[in-house]
């Protein structure tokens, strides 16, 4: 439990770390970080910036869900924002990785490109799973039984 000035405590959702959603977010963050390190070693600034940005955004979503901040800030529909981010990240990193793999001169660029393609696949999977769970025409409190 983390101290909160309003309620006294803030819940931490440790079950998220064992769920599919949590494991996907962790895998995405790890892949983005590894690609970032590879591009940094290869000294490729455009690739460094994109992978660093996506690493921090993915890490932000992981912290948001881990600390249950998405339940505190209900004025934003977080699953939809997460779906948009997942698909945007997948497209951006896939394009950059394909360019990196096809034009590499340093092994670090090739490694970052390959790991970036794995990360793009994970973001696509994450976006697809999240999109399947979103219901636009029902209140947030109801659950759909499939």
pTM: predicted TM-score of the whole model, two decimal places: 0.81
- Cα distance between residue 135 and residue 77, in whole Å: 11
For residues 105 and 115, is the Cβ–Cβ distance under 8 A? no
Looking at residue 59, what is its pLDDT? 95
State the pLDDT confidence band at 24, using cuts at 50, 70 and 90.
very high
**Which 3 state secondary structure label does DSSP give 43?**
coil
Do 116 and 96 contact (CB within 8 A), yes or no? yes
pLDDT value of position 106: 86
- pLDDT over threshold 80, residue 65: yes
Residue 47, CA atoms < 13 Å, CB-side half-sphere: 33
pLDDT surpassing 90 at residue 141: no
Mean pLDDT estimate for the chain = 86
Q: Considering only CA atoms, which of 118, 124, 125 is closest in space to residue 31?
A: 118
pLDDT value at position 77? 86
Label residue 142 by pLDDT band (50, 70, 90): low
Res. 7: pLDDT tops 80: no
More confident residue, 103 or 138: 103
The sign one gets for the Cα dihedral 12, 14, 17, 21 is negative
């Amino acid at each position: 439990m983390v101290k909160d000035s309003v309620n006294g405590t803030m819940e931490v959702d440790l079950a998220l770390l064992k769920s599919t959603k949590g494991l996907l977010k962790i895998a995405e963050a790890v892949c983005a970080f590894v690609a970032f390190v590879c591009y940094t070693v290869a000294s490729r600034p455009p690739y460094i910036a994109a992978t660093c940005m996506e690493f921090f955004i993915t890490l932000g979503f992981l912290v948001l869900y881990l600390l249950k901040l998405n339940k505190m800030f209900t004025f934003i529909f977080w699953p939809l924002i997460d779906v948009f981010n997942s698909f945007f990240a997948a497209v951006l990193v896939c394009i950059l990785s394909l360019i990196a793999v096809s034009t590499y001169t340093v092994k670090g660029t090739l490694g970052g490109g390959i790991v970036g393609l794995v990360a793009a696949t994970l973001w696509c999977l994450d976006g697809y799973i999240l999109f399947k769970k979103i219901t636009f025409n029902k209140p947030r409190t109801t659950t759909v039984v499939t």
